[in-house]
Amino acid sequence: MTDTLVNLASPEKLFIGGGWTNSSGSDGIEIISPSTEEKVGRVAKATTADMDRAVAVARDAFDNGPWPRMTGPERAVYLRRIAGEMAKRSDDFARAWSMQVGMPYSQSSMTAPFMGGYYTYAADLAEKGFEEVRPALAGGHAIVVHEPVGVVAAVVPWNAPLATLSLKVAFALAAGCTIIAKPSPETPLEALILAECIAAAGVPEGVFSVLTADRDVSDHLIRHEGVDKVSFTGSTAAGLNIASIVSARSGRITTELGGKSAAIVLDDADIGKVVEGIMPNLVGLCGQQCAAFSRILVPLPLKGAVEEAMAAAMQYVQVGDPFVETTQMGPLVTQRQHGRVFDYIRQGKAQGARIVTGGNRPAHLDRGWFVEPTLFTDASNDMTIAREEIFGPVGTIIAYGSEEEAIAIANDNIYGLSGGVFTQDVERAYRVARRIRTGNFGHNGRVIDYTIPYGGFKQSGVGREGGVEGLHGFTEVKAVFMQELPAHLKA
């Protein structure tokens, strides 16, 4: 039995290759509500032996099964079925997100019904096929083929479990890969619900597995010789370690890692749009977003106005129980994360930054891992709060003198994931965008779109997810030279 708020048929079993099975160990993983600090469920804890079994099943399904040998349009049929099954479970997905992470249910329930879109979009790409004919210099034709990379380990974090998992699973399935999903131990439920959807869609045996496990077993998966590609979203420290392990065997890897993104407010910016564009980054998911605009670069003459407007907006945010309709921001995900964010707040004050608003636990909440939306000012780019990823609802205002100085500050960081510029001048916005070394950049706000490639420069990761680039990330490229084209490729 389980007391989770979702409808899972086998919450304390593993999903290996299409069937539910017991773990070879006797331990489980307890799910703790970040709002109440109480246990709300339990799932199975996989062992290294279970991981070996899952890899063997995925390996056999890739080497000998039908999935990689289907055409793109044939796989697309299954992807559309998965999307249909997900639509039936949208409330389960929403409740799981709110219960495990603290995402306000008013927001998760609006987002969850659209999660099947990852799979229908991947189906659209698969239907376009994986072959391109080009003329060869020596005459004849070159057929450039994208073939599935093989067995994929999809390792995802806890902040947006279904979205980050779907960026991997939907596109890897479309490419013809077999997949072992390893969710975060803090947020296993979405992956298990997805497994039920994939089973209901009739995806062939061996193609998809979910193993709920601690991080030591995840390390075993990453090191496994039977895994051809690791797709990882998480911290930069973990990503760099994974990259070194996988690269040592010439394995393929995609990583989407940390960020310390800058919002560059130019001197002609509309202050209302600044607040509107930055606030969702700082309070959405309680600021636990790798692409959050956590550094706010402001021209000195606008500093007071931006401080006042941002502080007013933060003070208006309703913090509390994610299942209360009026809640706009829930808690941080774990006690460890709670302590980490408050440690950064202490460091900010100790290094001379000034708190405009926030910096404490909300007075009306005596349990749960809550923190007030917090705004620092009078900061410099060499302070810890400006250098490191806090992963909480904390923004830091840094004043600058010239546009050139703002660009230099924005680029002066080990990360390069996202960013944005706030200005009423389109030409100026694009000019600034081209000079910032990040994988994604917005004008008067931030956009994340799974139909467009997403990823980072520098220590924010390697490769891209989403868009056709995300699909091709799960393929190997082969050039086949032919003097004459096969019938299916003739015009």
Question: Structure tokens of 107?
Answer: 């927001």
Question: Structure tokens of 187?
Answer: 């947020």
Please name every residue paired with 422 in a beta bridge, in sequence order, or none if there are none.
Answer: 265
CA–CA separation, 260 and 116 (whole Å): 30
Question: Structure tokens of 303?
Answer: 């500093």
CA–CA separation, 251 and 228 (whole Å): 6
CA–CA separation, 443 and 420 (whole Å): 6
CA–CA separation, 285 and 333 (whole Å): 9
Angle value at C-alpha 217, between 212 and 223, nearest 5 degrees: 125
Q: Choose, from 290, 307, 389, 403, the residue flagged as catalytic.
A: 290
Ramachandran category for residue 203: left, alpha or beta (phi over 0 → left; psi -120 to 50 → alpha): beta
CA–CA separation, 189 and 100 (whole Å): 8
Q: Choose, from 85, 190, 256, 307, the residue flagged as catalytic.
A: 256
Neighbours of 354 (CB within 10 A): 13
Question: Structure tokens of 223?
Answer: 């090191």
Looking at 73-138, which runs of residues are DSSP E strands?
Answer: 131-135
The residue to which tokens 């048929």 are assigned: 9
CA–CA separation, 482 and 491 (whole Å): 15
Active site residue 256: yes
The residue to which tokens 């093989």 are assigned: 150
Active site residue 186: no
CA–CA separation, 125 and 176 (whole Å): 12
Catalytic machinery residues = 256, 290
